[in-house]
C-alpha cells in the first residue's frame, strides 16, 4: 500500500445540510449521528450524551447524560435538561414506549456528573432490521453537544444466526441490501478523512476504514486506537442492517503505526532466516498486537519477488527467488490468520502486490519514480514461473484478501508498447486469481490505485476508471479521500448498465464472507484483552530471535567473530545508535524517520549490554587508541516505496525532516559511511562492519580491509539480537535472500542468470560454530570459494545459490549433489 504525508492529504470538504439529506435518502441509514449543536445563549456548562445507545429488542435502554463546566469546576448555577423521544424508524407504542422528562443538575454539582434516562422497548414476534428512537435534549442553562439516539438491534434474521453457514448468512444478508448499501460495502475511506465527520460512515454505509502510514489517533496508545475504531464501528452499526466495518492497517513488520509496538525485521531480513516456523510465530505476535487495538485486517504480507534491488520496496520482499517468497509468504499468512479468524489473536492477511511489482523494468516507474509502480516487461511464461508462485502458495495457505499492484504488465508475447495497469487486468485478477486458482476471498485496491488507469483525470476516480477496475475483478476500493465520489459514480454506473449487479453481488458476497469469518457480526467492537502484551518482553523476545537469525555473516577473516566481551570495543557509524534507521520505513510514519521513532533497543545498546569496555563515536572522530576491535555500523536511512528508488525523488515531508530532502538513494555506501569504514579499519587491528539497510550496499573496494562483514538488514526495535550473534550467544545462521552485487553500476544479478557472478551469492552465509547445512559440505565449499579481497568465485556462487534453491524447493538430495560436485578435489 502507499500513503502520503498528512500535509499532502486531501481532506474532505465539510458537507452542507442539503448534501447530508441527499446522502441519507440515497441509502437506508437509520440516522446520521449528529454533530455538536449549540444553545442560542452561550453557557458555561455543556450537556452531552453518547451518540448512540444500543439495546436488544424488548429491553430497556439507559441513556447517560453528562454535564461539564467550562473550567471543570462545580456548577455555579443549576442546569435543567429536558428530554423527549422523537420520530425515528421505530414506531411509538408498537416498538417502544414514548417518553419525556427532565434531568436536574443543581448548583454545586461536580463537573462530569451523570444522570440517566430510560426508554423501554417492546419485544416483537418476528425478526426485524435495526430501528432507531431519536432522543432530543433541550436546555436553557447549558450548551447541548449532540443529540443521542437509541438503536434497537436487528434480531431474529438468518444472517444474524451464527449457527448457520457463512454461505447461507451471506445469501440472506445480500438479498436484503439495496444497491447503495452494496456499493457502501465496496468503499473504504481513510481514518483522517472521517474522523472530523464520522456520520458519513453511517450515511454511506461504508464497509471499511483504514489507517495509512503514520495515520494515528491523537493519542497514539492501544486504548486510543481501540476507542477510535469503536467509534467508527458505532457509526457502522447505526444502519438498519448493522453490517460492521472491517478496519485495515499496514502491519508489515509489526503494528508500525502504534508507538510502543514490537517491530520485526522487514521481510528481507525474515527472508534471511530461512525459518518458516519463526516467521509464522512472529506474525502471530504481530496479529495479536494489531487485533488488540481493534484492527482485524492487515495489508501484509508482501509476497513479491524482487529482481532489481534498486527498487525502493526491496525490503518488502522475502527475496529474489519465488521458492523463498512462497515458503515464507505462506508461513506469514498462517501466522496472521491462525486456524480461526475469530480468534482475538488473528487478523485477515493480504497477499500483495499482485502481480509482478518486484519485476518491473528500471526507468519505467510512475511519475518521478525510477522503478516503483513501473512496467513488468515479461512473457506470460516468465511471470507464471517467477512472479505468480508466491500467490499460489498464499492462496493454498488460505489468505483472505489480495491487493493488486500499482504497476503494469506489458507482455512480451505480443510485443512491447501496450502496458496494462494491474488494477485493470481482468486476465490476471478474474482469470488467473479467481477462476483458475479458485480464490474466494476479496480483492482490495491499493491507495487510489484506480486513479492511475488511463485516461488520467483531475476528478479521479472517473466512472471509466471505476467501471474498468470493478469489471476486472477488484472488490473493495481504497479511496482515502474520494470515497463519496467513488460511491456515487459506481451506483450510477450500475444503474446505467455499465456494471452488472451480479458483479456487485459477487464483490459484496466476498467482503461479507470475510466479516462473518472474522466474527465481526458477533463481536464488532475491539477485544482489548491482549493489549497488555503489546511491546511485552515475550513479544520482544520473538523479535530478538528473528533479528539474530536474520544476520548474515558474509565474511569472517581470521575468525574476527564472535567477539570477546572482555575486549575493548570501538563502535562507530551513524546506524549504531539510531532506532529509526534500523527500523526503516513503515515505522511511526509511512517513510519512517531517523531517531527515536518508537521504544526499542539500538545495536549500540545491545553491544553495551554484552560488553563492559565500549567506546562510541558516530563519525569515528574520537581516538581509536587501545581498541581491540572496531565495529562500524553503516548503511541506509529510512524510506518507503518510490522514494527509495535509486535515482528517484527525495522525501522531505516528515516533521523530523524539517523540509530538508533526505539523502539520494544509492546501491553504494554513502561517502560519509565509506569514510568511517576506511578510518576504523585502517586504525584498529580487527574491523567488523555491519550494514543496516533494506538492500545490499556495494562495498567491493572496502572488502579487503574488512575482517568481518555482516548484512544486518533492517532489524527493527530489537537491536540486542544483533549483539547476540556478534558475541556468540547465538550462532550466525542467516542466508542471503538476494544476491549481493559487485558493482553499483551493474547491480541487477539474480540466481539463475547466465553470467552469474555476484560478490556474494543468493543463499550465502557463514557460521560461527557447528556444521553448515548438509553437514560440512557447505562450510568447506564456502571457505574454498571466498577470496578475502574479491568475494566469491563465480563457480562457487553458482553452486551455493543453486543448492540453496534446491533446498527451498524440497530437493535436498539434489542440493547435496550440487555441493559435492563443486567441492575442491
Which of 641, 654, 707, 804 is catalytic? The answer is 641
Nearest to 228 by CA among 274, 322, 295, 174: 295
* Alpha carbon separation from 511 to 187, 506, 679, 769 (Å, rounded): 11, 9, 58, 50
Catalytic pick from 57, 289, 446, 654? 446
Residue 690 C-alpha cell reads as 555491519
- Quote the CA–CA distance of 435 and 336 in Å, as a whole number: 25
Are 436 and 468 within 8 A, CB to CB? no
For residue 268, how many C-alpha atoms fall within 13 Å in the half-sphere facing its CB?
A: 31
| CA dist., res. 434 & res. 457, Å (int) | 30
Q: How far is CA 419 from the centre of its chain?
A: 28
User: Which helix (H) or strand (E) segment is 508 a member of?
Assistant: helix 501-517
Q: Is 204:28 a contact under the CB 8 Å cutoff?
A: no
Residues 6+ apart with CB under 8 A from 585: 315, 591, 592, 638, 639, 640, 641, 644, 694
Q: Which residues pair with 118 in a beta bridge?
A: 62
Q: What are the backbone angles phi and psi of residue 431, rounded to the nearest 5°?
A: -70, -65
Residues with Cβ within 8 Å of residue 382, at least 6 apart in sequence: none
Q: How far apart are the first and last CA of the chain?
A: 51
**H helical segments located in 551-663:** 579-583, 603-610
* Contact by Cβ (8 Å): 606, 722: yes
Using alpha carbons, list the distances in angstroms from residue 527 to 229, 263, 290, 530. 11, 21, 11, 8
How many helical (H) and strand (E) elements, i.e. helices and strands, does the chain have? 22, 28
Report the alpha-carbon distance of residue 195 to residue 191 in Å, rounded: 6
The candidate with the shortest Cα–Cα distance to 546, out of 717, 767, 426, is 717
How many residues are listed for the chain in this entry?
825
> Which three three-digit cell numbers place residue 797?
556462487
CB 82 within 8 A of CB 139: yes
DSSP string, 705-725: G-SEEEE----TTBTHHHHHH
CA angle 208, 409, 429 (to 5 degrees): 40
Nine-digit cell string for 26:
440515497
Q: What angle do CA 126, 127, 130 make, to 5 degrees?
A: 130
Q: Is 641 a catalytic residue?
A: yes
479: annotated active-site residue: no
Does the bond joining 355 to the residue before it have cis omega, within 30 degrees of 0? yes
CB atoms within 10 A of CB 639: 24
> What is the spatial distance between Cα 268 and Cα 738, in angstroms, rounded to a whole number?
8
* Residues identified as active-site: 446, 641
Amino acid at each position: 500500500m502507499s500513503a502520503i504525508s498528512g500535509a499532502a492529504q486531501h481532506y474532505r470538504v465539510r458537507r452542507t445540510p442539503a448534501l447530508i439529506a441527499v446522502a441519507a435518502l440515497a441509502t437506508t441509514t437509520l440516522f446520521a449521528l449528529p454533530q455538536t449543536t449549540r444553545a442560542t445563549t452561550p453557557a458555561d456548562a455543556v450537556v452531552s450524551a453518547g451518540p448512540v445507545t444500543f439495546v436488544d429488542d424488548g429491553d430497556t435502554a439507559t441513556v447517560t447524560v453528562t454535564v461539564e463546566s467550562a473550567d471543570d469546576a462545580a456548577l455555579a448555577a443549576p442546569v435543567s435538561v429536558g428530554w423527549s423521544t422523537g420520530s425515528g424508524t421505530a414506531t411509538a407504542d408498537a416498538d417502544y414506549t414514548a417518553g419525556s422528562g427532565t434531568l436536574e443538575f443543581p448548583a454545586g454539582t461536580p463537573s462530569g456528573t451523570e444522570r440517566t434516562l430510560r426508554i423501554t422497548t417492546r419485544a416483537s414476534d418476528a425478526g426485524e432490521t435495526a430501528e432507531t428512537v431519536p432522543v432530543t435534549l433541550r436546555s436553557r442553562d447549558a450548551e447541548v453537544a449532540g443529540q443521542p439516539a437509541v438503536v434497537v438491534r436487528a434480531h431474529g434474521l438468518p444472517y444474524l444466526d451464527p449457527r448457520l453457514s457463512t454461505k447461507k448468512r451471506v445469501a440472506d444478508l445480500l438479498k436484503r441490501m439495496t444497491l447503495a448499501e452494496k456499493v457502501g460495502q465496496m468503499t473504504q475511506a481513510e481514518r483522517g478523512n472521517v474522523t472530523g465527520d464520522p456520520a458519513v460512515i453511517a450515511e454511506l454505509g461504508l464497509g471499511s476504514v483504514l489507517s495509512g502510514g503514520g495515520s494515528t489517533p491523537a493519542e497514539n496508545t492501544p486504548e486510543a486506537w481501540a476507542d477510535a475504531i469503536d467509534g467508527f464501528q458505532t457509526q457502522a452499526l447505526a444502519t438498519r442492517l448493522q453490517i460492521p466495518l472491517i478496519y485495515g492497517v499496514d502491519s508489515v513488520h509489526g503494528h508500525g503505526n502504534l508507538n510502543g509496538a514490537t517491530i520485526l525485521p522487514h521481510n528481507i531480513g525474515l527472508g534471511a532466516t530461512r525459518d518458516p516456523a519463526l516467521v509464522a510465530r512472529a506474525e502471530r505476535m504481530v496479529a495479536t498486537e494489531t487485533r488488540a487495538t481493534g484492527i482485524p485486517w492487515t495489508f501484509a504480507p508482501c509476497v513479491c519477488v524482487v529482481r532489481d534491488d534498486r527498487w525502493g520496496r526491496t525490503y518488502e520482499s522475502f527475496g529474489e527467488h519465488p521458492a523463498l517468497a512462497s515458503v515464507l509468504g505462506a508461513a506469514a499468512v498462517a501466522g496472521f490468520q491462525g486456524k480461526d479468524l475469530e480468534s482475538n489473536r488473528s487478523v485477515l492477511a493480504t497477499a500483495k502486490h499482485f502481480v509482478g511489482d518486484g519485476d518491473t523494468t528500471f526507468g519505467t516507474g510512475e511519475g518521478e519514480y525510477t522503478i516503483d509502480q513501473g512496467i513488468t516487461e515479461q512473457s506470460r511464461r516468465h511471470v507464471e514461473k517467477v512472479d505468480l508462485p508466491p500467490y499460489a502458495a498464499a492462496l493454498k495457505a488460505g489468505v483472505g484478501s489480495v491487493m493488486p499492484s500499482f504497476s503494469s504488465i506489458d507482455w512480451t508475447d505480443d510485443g512491447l508498447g501496450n502496458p496494462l495497469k494491474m488494477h485493470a487486468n481482468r486476465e490476471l485478477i478474474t482469470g488467473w486469481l479467481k477462476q483458475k486458482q479458485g480464490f474466494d476471498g476479496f480483492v482490495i485496491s491499493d491507495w487510489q490505485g484506480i486513479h492511475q488507469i488511463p485516461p488520467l483525470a483531475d476528478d479521479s476516480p472517473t466512472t471509466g476508471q471505476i467501471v474498468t477496475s470493478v469489471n476486472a475483478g477488484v472488490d473493495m476500493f481504497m479511496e482515502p479521500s474520494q470515497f463519496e465520489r467513488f460511491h456515487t459514480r459506481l451506483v450510477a454506473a450500475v444503474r446505467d448498465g455499465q456494471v452488472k449487479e451480479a458483479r456487485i453481488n459477487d464483490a459484496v458476497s466476498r467482503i461479507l464472507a470475510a466479516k462473518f469469518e472474522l466474527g465481526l457480526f458477533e463481536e464488532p467492537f475491539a477485544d482489548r484483552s491482549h493489549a497488555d502484551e503489546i511491546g511485552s518482553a515475550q513479544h520482544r523476545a520473538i523479535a530478538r530471535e528473528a533479528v539474530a537469525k536474520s544476520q548474515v555473516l558474509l565474511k569472517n577473516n581470521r575468525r574476527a567473530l564472535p567477539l570477546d566481551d572482555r575486549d575493548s570495543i570501538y563502535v562507530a557509524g551513524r546506524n549504531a545508535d539510531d532506532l529509526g534507521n534500523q527500523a526503516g520505513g513503515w515505522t511511526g510514519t509511512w517513510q519512517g524517520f531517523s531517531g527515536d521513532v518508537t521504544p526499542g533497543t539500538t545495536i549500540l545498546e545491545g553491544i553495551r549490554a554484552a560488553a563492559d569496555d565500549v567506546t562510541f563515536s558516530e563519525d569515528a572522530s574520537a581516538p581509536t587508541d587501545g581498541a581491540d576491535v572496531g565495529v562500524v555500523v553503516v548503511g541506509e536511512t529510512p524510506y518507503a516505496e518510490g522514494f527509495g528508488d535509486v535515482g528517484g525523488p527525495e522525501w522531505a515531508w516528515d516533521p523530523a525532516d524539517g523540509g530538508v530532502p533526505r539523502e539520494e538513494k544509492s546501491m553504494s555506501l554513502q561517502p560519509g559511511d565509506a569514510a568511517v569504514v576506511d578510518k576504523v579499519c585502517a586504525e584498529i587491528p580487527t574491523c567488523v562492519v555491519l550494514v543496516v539497510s533494506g538492500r545490499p550496499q556495494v562495498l567491493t573496494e572496502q572488502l579487503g580491509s574488512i575482517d568481518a562483514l555482516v548484512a544486518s538488514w533492517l532489524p527493527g526495535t530489537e537491536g540486542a539480537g544483533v549483539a547476540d550473534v556478534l558475541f556468540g550467544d547465538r550462532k550466525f545462521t542467516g542466508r542471503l535472500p538476494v544476491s549481493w552485487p559487485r558493482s553499483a553500476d551493474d547491480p541487477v544479478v539474480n540466481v539463475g542468470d547466465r553470467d552469474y557472478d555476484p560478490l556474494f551469492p543468493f543463499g550465502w552465509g557463514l557460521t560461527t560454530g557447528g556444521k553448515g547445512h548438509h553437514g560440512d559440505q557447505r562450510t568447506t565449499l564456502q571457505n574454498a570459494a571466498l577470496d578475502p579481497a574479491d568475494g566469491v568465485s563465480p563457480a562457487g556462487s553458482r553452486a551455493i545459490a543453486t543448492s540453496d534453491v534446491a533446498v527451498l524447493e524440497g530437493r535436498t538430495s539434489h542440493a547435496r549433489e550440487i555441493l559435492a560436485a563443486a567441492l575442491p578435489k
